[in-house]
Chain A
Amino acid sequence: MSRPSDAKYSETHEWVIIPKKGDAVVGITDYAVKQLSDLVHLELPKVGDTLEAGTPFGEVESVKTVADLVSPVSGKVTAVNKEVIDNPDILHEEPYEDGWLIKVKITEKADLDSLMDAKEYQEFIEAAEEEGGEEEEGRTKKAKGKEEDDVDEDDFV
């Protein structure tokens, strides 16, 4: 899935697009949706609620897990996507279009500096994937001690 180049991305996998006119649009990335897999429920703020960058504004729930939605910007909520609440599957198909979550009237411009562009975000998740994998293998390797080599089919004689 190609990610919009006009969006900014956070390390907690939210995106924000700030149009020339009008309010910022916030959603979650395709990567986040894939990680969560079967989405069950979204808990979103009400119109008029105040958001602070870096703090949770809602929750996304799947069958086996639940994750905070962290606001990439500070401001006031001006719209909430009712359709995606009713049908979270939209997020699987169009996380950057019909799958937007909230619109925010931004109060502090500076917030955006800490966010990534599409290319940086891609690098970020690639690094995260690699690190996660290594850590997993590393832990078990260390724990298993001297005689173990890489995990492969030979483990299953």
Chain B
Amino acid sequence: MDYIQNSPDDAAAMLKAVGAASVEDFFTSIPKEIRLNRPLNLPPGMTEQELLAHMEELAARNRTTESCTSFLGGGAYSHFIPSLVEQVAGRGEWVTSYTPYQAEASQGTLQSIFEYQTMICELTGLDVANASHYDGSTALAEAVAMALDHSDRNRILVSAAVNPQYREVLRTIFRQLGVEFVELATFEGATATSGLAEFAATAAAVVVQSPNFFGVVEDLAEISRAAKAGGARTIASVNPVSLGLLEPPGACGFDVAVGDAQPFGIETSYGGPWCGFIAARMELIRKMPGRLVGQTVDDKGRRGFCLTLQAREQHIRREKASSNICTNQALMALRATITMSTLGREGLRRMATLSLQRAHELHDAVTSVPGVSRPHQAPFFHEFVIQTPVDPDLLNERLLARGILGGVDLHQSYPDLRNGVLLCATERTSKADIERFRAGLAECLKDPR
């Protein structure tokens, strides 16, 4: 099958107009010896009806988070998605446009990004946000590049409580550039701040996450003070939902905030596409990577929006650019923007507060089960770590048999947290879910083997 409009007659007429005998005439620059002289070895084409049936069958082999009770978080969050998001962001005009190269014909895209940038600034308490990144992990890498670009130092201090996958991405991206990553230890689940100022005096930046990977709320103001004393830049990876309640990085003195807007109207979709965000103080605007939308006026003095400060970007700076990012995640940023508009101030407060409350209720229920212990005592937002006598793999298998998707297994990333499991609740977690989990967990822990 295909979606080609021209009929064989059209094609014949077009060939005639060009003066070609067949399309083969156009491919003469491809040497004969490298031509593929057979059809590609792929399954035959399908009609739409056949395709849909095939894909529904594949989709049915996945267990959705809706079909069971899920307590999975760890960087991907199942929040309520307003019904209008799919319909409005799903419009063809949004879905099938491209980067707003021609500003006059892309005012919709540009204005929506301007609104997104504003909302990210409001959430993070910072001055400037760009048009978005692939995800939270690559946004963090870009923030580190900004700090390195701004400093003679090439050491980065990274809290051990930053998402382990994000830290892996940092290693991949910067290993060959001679950047040294030094891990900051945690105490009670929070990044240890004693001696940080001294340590920071050798570093280009201090990177923390809040709430961190253990769900713990970091003392950003204290970390910022210590890092500043050492002359290091400060970068916080944050959960945007938590910023409905928690003091934002900008207000705590941080230079750069990053994160993933996935919790706002973006499906978990097995890890992507999502929407990384990055925001910074105004003095760093020229170090900011990626696309940036600015407000200006047209030739009649009317307000309009365009891509701006493009001399920062790879298409102009080429080998001197400090990032190679080309586009952004506009459609995902749009979903986040529409969701934030729909939630509004009150809705965001509710989403954050309900997530906080359900997580604490879950905590109280779970810790009442014999055998469950908590490694950390620091305040947490909507995730927390438990330890049990049972191997997490086995525990999750037993829970699954009861229709429950348990927590994230911390074994690989944090072997010191023996049998550690990260649990998450959001506003979608009901009190009944919590009770089901408590009861199920109690049964699963009866036999420790």
* Direct A–B touching, Cβ under 8 Å: yes
Report which A residues bind B (CB closer than 8 A).
Answer: 40-41, 43, 61-66
For the complex of A and B, the 9 pairs showing the least CB-CB separation, nearest first, are A66-B311, A61-B311, A66-B316, A66-B317, A65-B316, A65-B311, A40-B311, A41-B286, A64-B316
B310 at the interface (CB under 8 A from A): yes
How far is it, in angstroms, between the C-alpha of A118 and the C-alpha of B286 when the chains are bound?
35
Q: Tell me the dominant secondary structure on chain B's binding face.
A: helix
How far is it, in angstroms, between the C-alpha of A63 and the C-alpha of B317 when the chains are bound?
12
Contact B286 A64 (CB under 8 A): no
Report which B residues bind A (CB closer than 8 A).
Answer: 286, 309-311, 316-317, 320
Kindly list 16 other residue pairs between chains A and B, CB separation below 8 angstroms, not including A40-B309, A64-B311: A40-B311, A41-B286, A41-B311, A43-B286, A61-B311, A62-B311, A63-B310, A63-B311, A64-B310, A64-B316, A65-B311, A65-B316, A66-B311, A66-B316, A66-B317, A66-B320
Q: Which residues of A contact B316 (CB under 8 A)?
A: 64-66
How far is it, in angstroms, between the C-alpha of A61 and the C-alpha of B312 when the chains are bound?
9
How far is it, in angstroms, between the C-alpha of A61 and the C-alpha of B309 when the chains are bound?
9
How far is it, in angstroms, between the C-alpha of A122 and the C-alpha of B316 when the chains are bound?
28
CB B313 to nearest CB in A, in angstroms, measures: 10
How far is it, in angstroms, between the C-alpha of A40 and the C-alpha of B312 when the chains are bound?
12
How far is it, in angstroms, between the C-alpha of A64 and the C-alpha of B316 when the chains are bound?
7
How far is it, in angstroms, between the C-alpha of A43 and the C-alpha of B317 when the chains are bound?
14
Between A and B, 18 residue pairs with Cβ closer than 8 Å are A40-B309, A40-B311, A41-B286, A41-B311, A43-B286, A61-B311, A62-B311, A63-B310, A63-B311, A64-B310, A64-B311, A64-B316, A65-B311, A65-B316, A66-B311, A66-B316, A66-B317, A66-B320
How far is it, in angstroms, between the C-alpha of A149 and the C-alpha of B374 when the chains are bound?
83
Q: Which residues of A contact B320 (CB under 8 A)?
A: 66
Q: Which residues of B contact A66 (CB under 8 A)?
A: 311, 316-317, 320
CB B318 to nearest CB in A, in angstroms, measures: 10
Q: How many A-B residue pairs have CB under 8 A?
A: 18
CB B339 to nearest CB in A, in angstroms, measures: 34
Q: Which residues of A contact B310 (CB under 8 A)?
A: 63-64
How far is it, in angstroms, between the C-alpha of A61 and the C-alpha of B317 when the chains are bound?
10
How far is it, in angstroms, between the C-alpha of A41 and the C-alpha of B311 when the chains are bound?
10
Residue of A at shortest CB range from B318?
A: A66
Q: Which residues of A contact B311 (CB under 8 A)?
A: 40-41, 61-66
CB B396 to nearest CB in A, in angstroms, measures: 52
CB B291 to nearest CB in A, in angstroms, measures: 15
CB A39 to nearest CB in B, in angstroms, measures: 11
How far is it, in angstroms, between the C-alpha of A61 and the C-alpha of B316 when the chains are bound?
10
CB B99 to nearest CB in A, in angstroms, measures: 16
CB B298 to nearest CB in A, in angstroms, measures: 15
Residue of B at shortest CB range from A68?
A: B320
Residue of A at shortest CB range from B313?
A: A66
How far is it, in angstroms, between the C-alpha of A120 and the C-alpha of B181 when the chains are bound?
52
Residue of A at shortest CB range from B308?
A: A63
CB A4 to nearest CB in B, in angstroms, measures: 29
Residue of B at shortest CB range from A43?
A: B286
How far is it, in angstroms, between the C-alpha of A65 and the C-alpha of B310 when the chains are bound?
8
How far is it, in angstroms, between the C-alpha of A152 and the C-alpha of B311 when the chains are bound?
34
How far is it, in angstroms, between the C-alpha of A146 and the C-alpha of B316 when the chains are bound?
35
How far is it, in angstroms, between the C-alpha of A43 and the C-alpha of B287 when the chains are bound?
12
CB B26 to nearest CB in A, in angstroms, measures: 17
Q: Which residues of A contact B309 (CB under 8 A)?
A: 40
How far is it, in angstroms, between the C-alpha of A62 and the C-alpha of B309 when the chains are bound?
9
How far is it, in angstroms, between the C-alpha of A40 and the C-alpha of B311 when the chains are bound?
9
Residue of B at shortest CB range from A62?
A: B311
Q: Which residues of B contact A40 (CB under 8 A)?
A: 309, 311
How far is it, in angstroms, between the C-alpha of A63 and the C-alpha of B311 when the chains are bound?
7
Q: Which residues of B contact A64 (CB under 8 A)?
A: 310-311, 316
Q: Which residues of B contact A63 (CB under 8 A)?
A: 310-311
Residue of B at shortest CB range from A56?
A: B320
How far is it, in angstroms, between the C-alpha of A61 and the C-alpha of B286 when the chains are bound?
11
Output the residue of B286, B311, B316, B320 with the most chain A CB within 10 A: B311
Q: Which residues of A contact B286 (CB under 8 A)?
A: 41, 43
Q: Which residues of B contact A41 (CB under 8 A)?
A: 286, 311
How far is it, in angstroms, between the C-alpha of A113 and the C-alpha of B310 when the chains are bound?
37
CB B142 to nearest CB in A, in angstroms, measures: 19
How far is it, in angstroms, between the C-alpha of A61 and the C-alpha of B320 when the chains are bound?
13
How far is it, in angstroms, between the C-alpha of A40 and the C-alpha of B285 when the chains are bound?
13
How far is it, in angstroms, between the C-alpha of A41 and the C-alpha of B320 when the chains are bound?
17
How far is it, in angstroms, between the C-alpha of A41 and the C-alpha of B310 when the chains are bound?
12
Q: Which residues of B contact A65 (CB under 8 A)?
A: 311, 316
CB A68 to nearest CB in B, in angstroms, measures: 8
Residue of B at shortest CB range from A41?
A: B286
CB A46 to nearest CB in B, in angstroms, measures: 12
How far is it, in angstroms, between the C-alpha of A47 and the C-alpha of B320 when the chains are bound?
24
CB A64 to nearest CB in B, in angstroms, measures: 7
How far is it, in angstroms, between the C-alpha of A63 and the C-alpha of B316 when the chains are bound?
10
CB A112 to nearest CB in B, in angstroms, measures: 28
Residue of B at shortest CB range from A40?
A: B311
Q: Which residues of B contact A43 (CB under 8 A)?
A: 286
Q: Which residues of B contact A61 (CB under 8 A)?
A: 311
CB A45 to nearest CB in B, in angstroms, measures: 13
Q: Which residues of A contact B317 (CB under 8 A)?
A: 66
CB A123 to nearest CB in B, in angstroms, measures: 30
